């Protein structure tokens, strides 16, 4: 075991040292390798599960950890599938380990048969801190599966790139879906490790069951840390600007307006062929990770957010509904502008109504101010890192 730990330390310190001296949970291998010794292990991860320049799976295989299965979330193990795309189970070519997709048409949980084959589940995904980003839902469902099958779960924590603020309404559970699974604000300001503790502590799993979960914490991280992701978390979040704008522009997914999928600036532009008064234009194309984007091959007119406002202005504003309000007003489609998916994303029914009534973004934000304060108090016992 001592040799394994020495090799682990070599892997960590020889290959890491990226991203502002923050050390992710995956890098602290000496803390979790002993929990894997002699166990049958499944690893739920994707392209973000890295230790320096090495992938977590490759590192664990080199250390003789018995990985019997790799589980893959939305976008697949390599992170190149479209949002929500069916991803078939397969085999990892490099290691020969079976890959079990959670997006192969099932419920988002592994089969009971697979769970019986494992002793420990290692979870390592880079989240982006927004309720409708599905990796959080994936973790909650895995906690449920582990609790039901008495499987130990280890969460290798990673920083939240927008962990420095909380914003948005707490989800009305009548709108619960894969893009909104927990009663939390849109921007929750927590890491997945912190949320794992909150899921147990608040008894959010069915019938109050508890998951035996150990969180391997980040080092040198606080909620004020401006952490830049070393690997893009999914195909259409290619840079930090797209991640910072994501809580404000993702609502276009529930409208006919393009948010730039199929361009080189997804979540950083918005437009529609019938929007008037704009000089900026773009045309969505079929590209890897966005094979059939909204408004495919149609020239769209709209707004370019890829250079302005500044990052500081974006983050100071938090969730900014001005973009959605602008497009709604310009297109004059009334209820044809919104799809039912809108409530699943925003989490409440009053937002659509207020937009239709001509209310401002500031007036709508004021409606959820109490939710934000309530949640900040509720989450406090579960925070693993300083707030500043």
User: Rounded CA gap, 106 and 272, in Å?
Assistant: 34
The full 3-state SS of 115-136, as one line of letters, equals: HHCCCEEEEECCCCCECCCCHH
| β-strand partners of 59 | none
What pLDDT was estimated at residue 10? Answer: 41
Reading the block at residue 39, the tokens are 């166990």
Q: In Å, what is the CA distance from 269 to each residue of 117, 137, 258, 265, 301? A: 46, 27, 8, 6, 10
Reading the block at residue 189, the tokens are 């300001």
What pLDDT was estimated at residue 106? Answer: 56
What pLDDT was estimated at residue 128? Answer: 97
User: Rounded CA gap, 34 and 211, in Å?
Assistant: 20
Instruction: Name residue, tokens 């960590």.
Output: 12
User: Rounded CA gap, 284 and 258, in Å?
Assistant: 8
Tallying the residues shown for the chain, one arrives at 388
Give Cα 333 to chain centroid, integer Å.
31
What pLDDT was estimated at residue 96? Answer: 87
Report which of 236, 221, 297, 227 is spatially closest to residue 268, judged by C-alpha positions.
236
Instruction: Locate the domains of the chain by residue range.
Output: 2-229, 240-348
Q: In Å, what is the CA distance from 348 to each residue of 85, 186, 335, 352? A: 26, 10, 16, 8
Reading the block at residue 170, the tokens are 């707490």
**214: helix, strand or coil:** strand
Instruction: Name residue, tokens 């192969």.
Output: 104
What pLDDT was estimated at residue 90? Answer: 72
Give Cα 85 to chain centroid, integer Å.
16
pLDDT in 10s for each residue of the chain, 388 residues: 444 444 444 444 333 334 469 999 999 999 999 999 999 999 999 989 999 889 999 999 999 999 999 998 765 565 444 444 444 567 887 888 888 888 655 567 888 888 999 999 999 999 999 999 999 999 999 999 999 999 999 999 999 999 999 999 999 999 999 999 999 999 999 999 999 999 999 999 999 999 999 999 999 999 999 999 999 998 899 999 999 999 999 999 999 999 999 999 999 999 999 999 999 999 999 998 889 999 999 999 999 999 999 999 999 999 999 999 999 999 999 989 999 999 999 999 999 999 999 999 999 999 999 999 999 999 999 999 999 8
What pLDDT was estimated at residue 219? Answer: 97
| β-strand partners of 50 | 55
What distance separates the 2 farthest-apart alpha carbons in the chain?
Answer: 68
| β-strand partners of 324 | none
Q: What is the pTM of this model?
A: 0.90
Where does 2-229 sit in CATH, by number? 3.40.50.12170
């Amino acid at each position: 075991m001592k040799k394994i730990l020495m090799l682990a330390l070599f892997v960590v310190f020889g290959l890491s040292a990226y991203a502002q001296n923050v050390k992710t949970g995956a890098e602290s291998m000496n803390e979790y390798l002993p929990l894997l010794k002699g166990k049958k292990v499944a690893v739920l991860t994707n392209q973000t599960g890295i230790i320096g320049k090495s992938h977590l799976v490759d590192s664990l295989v080199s250390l003789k950890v018995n990985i019997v299965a790799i589980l893959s979330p939305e976008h697949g193990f390599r992170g190149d599938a479209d949002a929500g795309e069916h991803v078939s189970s397969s085999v990892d070519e490099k290691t020969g380990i079976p890959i079990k997709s959670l997006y192969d048409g099932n419920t988002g949980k592994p089969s009971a048969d697979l769970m019986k084959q494992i002793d420990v589940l290692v979870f390592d995904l880079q989240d982006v801190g927004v309720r409708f980003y599905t990796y959080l839902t994936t973790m909650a469902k895995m906690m449920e599966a582990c609790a039901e099958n008495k499987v130990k779960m280890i969460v290798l924590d990673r920083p939240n790139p927008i962990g420095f603020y909380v914003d948005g309404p707490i989800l009305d559970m009548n709108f619960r879906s894969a893009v909104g699974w927990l009663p939390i604000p849109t921007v929750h300001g927590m890491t997945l490790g912190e949320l794992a503790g909150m899921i147990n502590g608040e008894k959010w799993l069915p019938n109050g069951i508890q998951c035996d979960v150990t969180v391997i914490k980040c080092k040198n991280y606080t909620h004020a840390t401006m952490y830049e992701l070393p690997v893009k978390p999914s195909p259409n979040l290619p840079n930090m600007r797209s991640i910072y704008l994501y809580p404000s522009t993702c609502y276009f997914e529930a409208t006919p307006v393009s948010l730039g999928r199929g361009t080189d600036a997804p979540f950083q532009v918005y437009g529609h062929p019938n929007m008037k008064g704009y000089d900026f234009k773009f045309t969505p194309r079929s590209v890897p990770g966005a094979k059939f984007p909204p408004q495919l091959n149609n020239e769209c007119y709209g707004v370019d957010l890829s250079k302005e406002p500044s990052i500081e202005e974006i983050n100071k504003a938090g969730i900014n509904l001005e973009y959605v309000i602008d497009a709604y007003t310009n297109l004059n489609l009334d209820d044809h502008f919104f799809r039912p998916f809108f409530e699943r994303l925003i989490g409440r029914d009053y937002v659509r109504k207020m937009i239709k009534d001509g209310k401002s973004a500031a007036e709508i934000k004021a409606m959820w101010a109490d939710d934000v304060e309530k949640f900040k108090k509720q989450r406090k016992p579960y925070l693993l890192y300083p707030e500043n």
